[in-house]
C-alpha cells in the first residue's frame, strides 16, 4: 500500500508545554499532537523541524510524517485543531514529496528572543524582563546597552564550534568521536530595537542550533549589554568549545521559533 508524506505547520504557546519532545507524565507538543492523530485513527512518527525546549514558543514549527491514509489537508488541519488544546494550533497542512523531511530539508531556522527593561506587561510570558535578580543579583537597575549587545552579537555569525554555548549532553558527548559534532553555521545575529518601548528583539538565523545554544548566547549578550561582562566574552566562549558554559542562560519563555525556511514553499495558506 502506498505511503504518503505530509507536513503540518504549528503555532504553540510554550508555557503550556514541557517542550516539544514527548516525556513520560508531562504535557508536551509531541504528546498532544500524537494524541490528536490517535483520535482521528492515524498512527504516525513525527519529525519536527526543531525540538523546542520547555517554555519556548513557536509560530512556524513544521512537522512531517508518513501515513498510509489519504488525508485531505484542510480536513487534516481541522481534525488536529479539534483534538489539541487551545495552546497548540495547526495553521496549515499539505501533502509533500516522498523525500521531504521537516528537519533535514530545512534551509534555515530563525528564532526571535524578546528582552525588555522592563518588558511591557502585555508581553509577560513572552519576553525576558529586566531587572532579573535571579540572573543578575547584584544589579538593581538594568538597562540594555544595545550598542554593546550588537558588538557581542556580531561575533556569532559564521561557522564556529558552538560547544561552549551548548547544554552538556548527547550533542557535546559526540565531540569525543567527531570534532565537528558541535560545529554550526549562523547566518544572521542581530538586535532590533522596538519603537517607543524599552524592548528589543534578538534575531538569530542558522542552519541548525545546539540544545540551549540560543538561550546561552542571548544570556551572554545581555550580560555584556548590562555591563556584567564585556562583548569580548562571547569571543572567549567561542574560543573554548570544550569548556562548559557557566554564564547566564536566558529563560525559555522569551524565545520563539519564528520561521523555518525551505527551498520551495510548502503551504498555500
The catalytic residues are 53
For 16, phi then psi, to 5°, come to -90, -5
Q: Rounded CA gap, 135 and 254, in Å?
A: 14
Q: 172 forms bridges with which residues in the sheet?
A: none
Residue 6 C-alpha from the chain's centroid: 22
Amino acid at each position: 500500500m502506498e505511503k504518503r508524506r505530509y507536513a503540518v505547520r504549528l503555532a504553540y504557546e510554550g508555557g503550556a508545554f514541557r517542550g516539544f519532545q514527548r516525556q513520560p507524565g508531562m504535557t508536551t507538543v509531541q504528546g498532544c499532537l500524537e494524541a490528536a492523530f490517535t483520535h482521528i485513527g492515524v498512527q504516525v512518527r513525527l519529525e519536527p523541524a526543531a525540538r523546542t525546549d520547555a517554555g519556548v514558543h513557536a509560530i512556524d514549527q513544521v512537522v512531517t510524517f508518513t501515513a498510509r491514509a489519504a488525508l485531505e489537508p484542510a480536513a487534516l488541519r481541522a481534525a488536529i485543531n479539534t483534538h489539541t488544546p487551545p495552546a497548540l494550533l495547526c495553521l496549515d497542512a499539505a501533502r509533500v514529496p516522498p523525500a521531504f523531511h521537516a528537519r533535514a530539508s530545512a534551509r534555515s531556522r530563525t528564532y526571535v528572543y524578546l528582552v525588555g527593561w522592563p518588558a511591557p506587561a502585555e508581553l509577560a510570558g513572552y519576553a525576558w524582563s529586566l531587572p532579573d535578580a535571579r540572573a543578575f543579583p547584584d544589579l538593581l537597575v538594568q538597562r540594555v546597552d544595545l550598542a554593546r549587545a550588537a558588538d557581542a552579537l556580531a561575533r556569532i555569525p559564521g561557522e564556529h564550534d558552538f560547544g561552549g554555548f551548548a547544554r552538556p549532553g548527547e550533542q557535546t558527548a559526540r565531540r569525543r568521536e567527531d570534532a565537528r559534532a558541535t560545529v554550526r553555521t549562523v547566518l544572521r545575529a542581530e538586535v532590533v530595537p522596538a519603537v517607543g518601548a524599552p524592548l528589543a528583539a534578538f534575531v538569530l538565523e542558522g542552519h541548525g542550533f545546539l540544545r540551549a545554544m540560543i538561550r546561552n548566547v542571548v544570556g551572554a549578550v545581555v550580560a555584556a549589554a548590562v555591563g556584567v561582562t564585556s562583548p569580548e566574552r562571547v569571543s572567549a566562549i567561542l574560543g573554548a568549545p570544550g569548556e562548559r558554559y557557566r554564564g547566564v542562560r536566558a529563560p525559555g519563555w522569551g524565545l520563539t521559533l519564528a520561521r523555518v525556511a525551505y527551498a520551495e514553499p510548502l503551504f498555500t495558506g
